Amino acid sequence: MGSRTQIPTQKLLKTRRNASLYKKNAEKLPFFKRFLPLPWEAWPAEGRLLLTLILFWSLAGLFILGSASWWVANREMGDGAYYVKRQLIWLTASWSLLYVAISTHLKSWLKLAGPLLFLTLLLLFATHLFGTTINGATRWLFIGPIQIQPSELLKPFLILQAANLFAKWYRLTSDQKFFWLSIFGSILLLILFQPNLSTAALIGILLWLLALAAGLRFRNLLGIAFLGGLLGATSIFFKEYQRIRVISFLNPWQDPQGTGYQLVQSLLAIGSGGWFGEGYGLSTQKLQYLPFRSTDFIFSVFAEEFGFFGSLMLLLFLMLIAFLGLRIALLCRSNQAKLVSTGCSTILVGQSLMNVAVASGLMPTTGLPLPMISYGGSSLLSSLLISGLLIRCSLESTDLISNSKANLSNN
């Protein structure tokens, strides 16, 4: 399914020669090419394009955050670039993590997935004991001076371990299946009790899609989907915080100064953008009306400044990321790699669309960041690690990487 044909000998020999010369001539290469795990010319087209798009996405996100946060940072911190500077530090760390991801064999990541998932599960549990509560939700944990959000950090490791599980589903014992499904269920319950229904729903959809892609019985998956919907409805029924948000989502204009305030201000910002927007930095809703302008509702600021045309370009950009992710999944040689690339694409694109849907009033108001654009170190680390894993899947979809790395190690 989607496997490439054998690479012609002439092309392979050419690639080997390029690889052997790569290390010797590294100092003559452009700066960004010196640190790549194999020659840029040997990368699959999907990997090269994806890396370029991720670079553009993360840098554009920094500029969008600068516009959204400048006024409030200047008023509250006395430095308009306060949030941009902090985000830039996280961005540097996140790109270092992306480099590690594309330089490390996927098999190594899959072996580490279980222990790393357990570590983030412990951090997630710790939020219920020592976490910080903001706006009725306990999602953040302070480790020294650093504030982290474990529900964001666990996403890449959940993708990897889910790929481990579902790719080998019919070869595992019942005890092994039950153990890991119990772990996944515990993660969902801990996130629901924060409460964080949006992230729990996103992770539930992710696991369901990976199980579907792995070929699990559809009848069983329908039952799981029903139970998941029932669990979400139960959470909304018993959590007043979530119930109020759902009611205000259905008719925010009923209480525009109370429960519907966030969504009303978001819709006003999006509507004010018109066709081509007010211009970069010229949003008025971000000044003192729109809440969470740098995080949950940063898309509203973007839509006001760049209008319908800019918003359409963002959606087309996400479609291109989704297309590349699907193509990489089809070209991957192992079932685990196919599932990893499918999961990475689902998180990057699915979470982005959910954030846009919340800001546009198509979904209840939830605290779900816009990947690589919203302010927050945990989200940025998670998003770029996921991006790195997706690029790594692209590199391993061809024989060139193994031959290139073998030649590099011998010279």
Distance CA 156, CA 315 (A): 23
Question: What was the pLDDT predicted at 411?
Answer: 36
pLDDT of residue 160: 97
Both tokens of residue 293? 């302008």
Provide DSSP, 232-301.
HHHHHHH-HHHHHHHHHHH-GGGSTTTTTHHHHHHHHHHHHTTTT-S-TT--SHHHHTSTTTTTTTHHHH
Structure tokens belonging to residue 44: 């699959």
Closest CA to 293 of 316, 271, 270, 313: 270
- Domain ranges (residues) in the chain: 44-410
pLDDT score of 36: 67
Q: What are 239's two structure tokens?
A: 């959590």
pLDDT at 132: 76
Distance (Å, whole) CA 119 – CA 408:
34
Radius of gyration in angstroms for the set of CA atoms belonging to the chain, rounded to a whole number:
22
User: What is the 3-class SS of 98-132, one letter each residue?
Assistant: HHHHHHCCHHHHHHHHHHHHHHHHHHHHHHHHHCE
- Bin 37: left if φ > 0, else alpha if -120 < ψ < 50, else beta: alpha
**Amino acid letter, residue 143:** I
Please, is 130 exposed, middle or buried when counting C-beta atoms within 10 Å of its C-beta (0-12, 13-18, 19+)?
exposed
Predicted confidence pLDDT, tens digits, the chain (411 residues): 444 444 454 444 444 455 454 445 545 555 555 566 667 777 888 999 999 999 999 999 999 999 999 988 998 888 888 999 999 999 999 999 999 999 999 999 999 999 999 999 999 998 888 877 776 677 888 887 788 899 999 999 999 999 999 999 999 999 999 999 999 999 998 998 887 888 888 999 999 999 999 999 888 899 888 888 888 777 777 777 667 777 777 778 887 787 788 889 999 999 999 999 999 989 988 887 888 889 999 999 999 999 999 999 999 999 999 999 999 999 998 899 999 999 999 999 999 999 999 999 888 877 789 999 999 999 999 999 999 999 999 998 875 554 444 433 333
Task: State which H helix or E strand residue 174 sits in.
Answer: helix 174-192
